Amino acid sequence: MSGAGAYEAMDELTEVGIGFAGRGIESARETEWARGRRPIARWALAAAALFLWTLGALPASALARGAPDSFADLVQKLMPAVVNVSTTQTVKGEPGIEMPQFPPGSPFEQFFKDFLDKQQRPHKVTSLGSGFVIDPSGYIVTNNHVVADSDDVTVQFDGPDHLQLKAKVVGRDSKTDIALLKVDAGHPLAYVKFGNSDKARVGDWVVAIGNPFGLGGTVTAGILSARARQLNSGPYDDFLQTDAAINKGNSGGPMFNLDGEVIGINAAIYSPTGGSVGIGFAIPSSLAEPVVAQLEKYGKTRRGWLGVKIQTVTDEIAESMNLPKASGALVATVTPGGPAEKAGVAPGDVILKFDGRDIADMQHLPLIVAETEIGKSVPVVVWRRGHSVTLEAKVGELQETEPTVAEAAKGPEKPPTPANERKIESLGLAVAPLSADLRDQYELGAEVKGVVITGVNDSGNAAEKGLKPGDVIVELGQEQVTSPSQVARMIDQAQKAGRKSVLLLVQRAGDLRFVAVPIVKG
């Protein structure tokens, strides 16, 4: 509709609105019905029909489930499979504690003597947590930190008889904070199943059951508040966040969806007080389920391994590498003889896809590689010198000593300034060619190549990126450098080409990492 027709329609709608406001809805309805026209009824029916048709056309995933009138039926079904976990651990004494000096005959003297005697001899401590049965034969899942270093583990069922059973630790995994226990009840146990946490959406209702503060089976409900939270607790952080109350003692307990499926294992809380403030975290079932299966089968985890040290792709790094967006995992070093080296992966490559799955950021690569079948050959798409390259890697097995991400190491702090250094004002640093004196000063081996950083401006971009004297620039713009003049020339070329930053490959204490340093225009 356009032109005069549009204005006529607007006038008609305005007229109806004024009639309703001036005469009241009831009087307007009576007038329409008395005339036998019923335009409002026809409009309402048409709108309702359109609304219902629209709902029918929507995919099921777009229709959120409302809160039930009660969680009682769901909880009644799930509660028998949730257990309280108690552990005892022998703690060594703390020798060497001196008793405060008191006046002779002081009543505090004997009190502190008894207290210190108890502290200085081995004694048992008890801790409490939660868990849930995943198999009628008696397999129980909980957190690793609930049972780690414990001498005895006991589980108690929250039934009328309060059944207590000794549990055996089948296996533990510290990297994901998951442990698997086994009890022998002599009869099939009530159990729950894992659901697909990847299908859970922020805003979905969740129910948590556990043993907060040792009170016994307790139910709380809330929503899924966020996904993929990183808590810096390990290489496989991928927590679900919820506002369902989780407190001390809830660790290891299940977080259910409204279908009664376990989509998370309650593991941590954020709290300045020690109690729930509505920020709890759970290990997603998509991560936990394969770990539990491996613990049951092998008593330990068997994870895929690629053999690379990686780091985050920042906006500056992406710009310096002509990468369309900051995504993927930047390869800093490749383990000699590892799967990545055999596949042709090289330092400076950005891994964009692994086994057909996009690598959104550095944190996702260890997760994806770890859950890949050992021995499987997979395609690896990398970004190399301005375009993508597809390689094929055969996944190895991760050993506990293998690193999963690049780690920074400390270098020398303040070496003497050599006479032949060259200042690079646009980066805020000074460099010099490697000499015998500088190798001795910075403890650099004869195999190290490049130019050494001999000075860093505290207020410059190099310092902001963490560069220090003693770091060695091995490459600039993914090309090897051998002299300070070459560094200066390449930076000048980058400025003329309109680059906002330059990508440096820096070696520090034997480790390599990429650093994108913004260029300050002169």
Residue 415 DSSP label: P
What angle in degrees, to the nearest 10, is found between the helix axes of 25-35 and 39-57? 100
Read off the pLDDT band of 382 (50, 70, 90): very high
Query: pLDDT digit string (tens) for 21-62?
Result: 333 333 333 333 333 444 444 544 444 444 434 434 444 444
Angle between helix 3-23 and 25-35 (nearest 10):
120
The proportion of the chain whose per-residue pLDDT surpasses 70, expressed as a percent, equals 76
Percent of the chain predicted with pLDDT > 90: 44
Alpha carbon distance 384, 323 (integer Å): 9
Residues annotated catalytic, as ranges:
145, 177, 251
pLDDT band for position 513 (cuts 50, 70, 90): confident
Would you say 226 and 202 are in contact if contact means Cβ atoms under 8 Å apart?
Answer: yes
Mean per-residue pLDDT, 324-341: 92
Q: Residue 506, SS3?
A: strand
Helix ranges restricted to H, 58-198:
72-78, 107-120, 144-147
- Write out the H or E segment, with its range, that includes residue 263: strand 262-269
What residue has token string 């409490």? 128
Neighbours of 158 (CB within 10 A): 17
Q: What is the pLDDT of residues 129-166, one digit of tens each?
A: 999 999 999 999 999 999 988 888 999 998 777 889 99
Q: What is the pLDDT of residue 88?
A: 85
Q: What is the pLDDT of residue 56?
A: 44
Please count the CA atoms within 13 angstroms of the CA of 442 that sit on its side-chain side: 33
pLDDT for residue 144? 92
- Taking the whole predicted model, whether its pTM rises above 0.75 is answered as no
Say if CB 253 and CB 82 are below 8 A apart: yes
Q: Which long-range contacts (CB under 8 A, 24 or more apart) does 212-218 make?
A: 212/245, 212/246, 212/247, 212/248, 212/249, 212/250, 213/247, 213/248, 213/249, 214/84, 214/128, 214/249, 215/249, 216/84, 216/158, 217/79, 217/82, 217/84, 217/158
For the record, the structure tokens of 447 come out as 């195999």
Mean pLDDT for the stretch of residues 280-309: 92
Does 91 have pLDDT greater than 90? no
Check if the beta carbon of residue 362 is closer than 8 Å to that of residue 368: no
Q: Would you give the end-to-end CA distance of the chain in angstroms?
A: 59
Q: Is the pLDDT of residue 14 over 60?
A: no
Residues whose CB is less than 8 angstroms from the CB of residue 505 and which lie 6 or more positions away in sequence, other chains included: 347, 348, 473, 474, 475, 476, 478, 512, 513, 514
Between 412 and 162, residue with greater pLDDT: 162
> How many angstroms separate the CA atoms of 78 and 71, rounded?
11
User: Collapsing DSSP states into helix, strand and coil, what is residue 194?
Assistant: strand
- The region of weakest confidence among 71-75, 82-86, 106-110, 276-280 is 106-110
Closest CA to 380 of 372, 389, 371: 389
Check residue 103 and give its pLDDT.
67
